[in-house]
Structure 1
Amino acid sequence: MYTILFTIAAYLIGSISFAVVTSRAFGLSDPRTYGSKNPGATNVLRSGSKKAAIATLAGDCVKGWLAVWLAVHFGGRFGLDDGGVALVAIAVFLGHLWPVFFRFVGGKGVATALGVLLGLNVWLGLAVLATWLVVAYAFRYSSLAALVAAVMAPLYYGIGLGVDEKLFAVIFMSVLLLYRHASNITKLLAGKESRIGSKAAGAKASPKK
């Protein structure tokens, strides 16, 4: 029973789209209407507002971390085992991808996945973050960095933490990350993918009412 409650709560936490919320707070256009139309930090950055992008990144990451952290540190007293924690990790990630509060139109899940990994194990999260940063700095493609990090995450987990139910949650997230980046893979292969920091047409401040 408590496993179900934790899982539902995690999904609802994940359903908070900080890209949309932050853009509204900063008076920017809805990120679902310009650029990649993806409600995530990279697309918000295309609006030209670094502060909004950072706030989006932090919010999406923290919600993933919070849901898993609560399950890890408080779930035990309610009977949550590793399988329950794995379900919570998946639920908060699915909430971001298909948020109930935003008509099931969500982001690609990179920041939220990072938060989940940090919640599962800080060193695991930092290793994946370092991988993303190195690839992003070297090639200036956020999507490529996300793809490489997604592939490496299960490997890091298996090598460092062994095989358990939570590893399968990490594998599940990685597969979904690759799926959600299918269009980016096509653009990368065609040489048409936007680089980090490029500004998108239509990413203007919303008119004051």
Structure 2
Amino acid sequence: MPYAVIYALIGYLSGSVLYAEVFCRIFGRKNAIEQSRDANPGTANAFLYGGFWCGICTLIFDMAKGFVPVYAYVHMTQMNLAESNGLALVLAAPVAGHIFPVWHHFKGGKGIAVSFGSLLGLIPMWYPVLSLAVCFLFFSLVIQISPNFYRTVAVYIVNWLIIVFSETNLPKAVHIGVGLISLLILLKMHMSQEEREKMTFQLLWIKR
């Protein structure tokens, strides 16, 4: 458990670096995030308001700040993951840092790219990150939920249910960690000031 606390702290502090703002400054778009519609310092706004390369760099670093502490904990501490509930804290810490960053008065982004990075850090346990990716694709390309606010809520709720109820040999800590990540992102969505339009569903295989 002490190792888990150390790696969770590292993950939280790493997650608190908002790379959308960093790369917007580097690419000469200093106030791009503030001028965006929802002022969210995340990957999507880095692409939309900072440009392609700003978005790519933000995506890579936002995923990396989740991936590195989780991967290091899983592969460098030689912990028995089946008995290490601390893994749940390590998984959720970078997402918590991104959403409530200590360097930015606890006002951060939604944590979506970081959550992918954290789950990717579990490899060779591919199931959690693939499940999250499939949920995003399903609610984007099969049953499209609009706007993005409600799609994100649906994705993280359904993904957590899949992880909990699927018959896999995932450690209990992974179930808890995915639950914590989902709760953090749902809390951020609840706190969001963005305008919430009416939710719509569209079956994309049905031609209008």
| TM-score bin (small chain) | 0.7 to 0.9
Aligned residue for 1:107? 109
- 1:136 aligned to which of 134, 137, 140: 140
Residues 2 and 80 in structure 1, CA contact (< 8 A), matched pair in contact too: no
> Quick one: structure 1 residues 114 and 77, their matched pair in 2 at CA, closer, same or farther if it must change by over 3 Å?
closer
Alignment of structure 1 residues 49-128 onto 2, 5 Å: 49-76=51-78, 81-120=83-122, 121-128=125-132
How far 1:11 moved relative to its partner?
1.1
Whole-angstrom distance in 2 between the partners of 1:75 and 1:98: 27
- 2:188 aligned to which of 146, 159, 180: 180
Whole-angstrom distance in 1 between the partners of 2:58 and 2:79: 32
- Structure 1 residue runs of 5 or longer lacking an equivalent are 192-209
Whole-angstrom distance in 2 between the partners of 1:136 and 1:50: 21
How far 1:108 moved relative to its partner?
0.7
Answer yes or no: is 1:14 the counterpart of 2:18.
Answer: no
Which has the higher mean CA deviation after the structures are superposed, 16-25 or 113-122? 113-122
Aligned residue for 1:170? 178
Alignment length (residue pairs): 191
How far 1:77 moved relative to its partner?
5.7
Whole-angstrom distance in 1 between the partners of 2:187 and 2:25: 28
Whole-angstrom distance in 2 between the partners of 1:161 and 1:152: 19
CA RMSD in angstroms comes to 2.8
- 1:151-182, CA deviations, whole angstroms, 9 ceiling, x for partnerless residues? 12222322134561221121121122122113
Residue 196 of structure 2 aligns with an amino acid whose one-letter code is: K
How far 1:96 moved relative to its partner?
0.9
> Quick one: structure 1 residues 18 and 179, their matched pair in 2 at CA, closer, same or farther if it must change by over 3 Å?
same
Aligned residue for 2:203? none
Whole-angstrom distance in 2 between the partners of 1:165 and 1:78: 11
Query: 1:188 aligns to what SS in structure 2?
Result: coil
Identity %: 27
> Quick one: structure 1 residues 54 and 71, their matched pair in 2 at CA, closer, same or farther if it must change by over 3 Å?
same
> Quick one: structure 1 residues 49 and 79, their matched pair in 2 at CA, closer, same or farther if it must change by over 3 Å?
closer
TM-score, with normalisation over the residues of structure 1? 0.78
> Quick one: structure 1 residues 115 and 31, their matched pair in 2 at CA, closer, same or farther if it must change by over 3 Å?
same
Aligned residue for 2:163? 157
Higher helix share: 1
Query: 1:16 aligns to what SS in structure 2?
Result: coil
Whole-angstrom distance in 2 between the partners of 1:38 and 1:141: 16
How far 1:75 moved relative to its partner?
2.2
Whole-angstrom distance in 2 between the partners of 1:67 and 1:32: 29
> Quick one: structure 1 residues 106 and 184, their matched pair in 2 at CA, closer, same or farther if it must change by over 3 Å?
closer
- 1:7-66, CA deviations, whole angstroms, 9 ceiling, x for partnerless residues? 211111111211111111111124144320110012223316122222222221121111
Residues 35 and 46 in structure 1, CA contact (< 8 A), matched pair in contact too: no
How far 1:123 moved relative to its partner?
2.8
How far 1:190 moved relative to its partner?
6.9
Whole-angstrom distance in 2 between the partners of 1:190 and 1:144: 7
TM-score, with normalisation over the residues of structure 2? 0.78
Which has the higher mean CA deviation after the structures are superposed, 154-163 or 9-18? 154-163
- 1:88-122, CA deviations, whole angstroms, 9 ceiling, x for partnerless residues? 11211111111122232211111111111222332
Residue 44 of structure 1 aligns with an amino acid whose one-letter code is: A
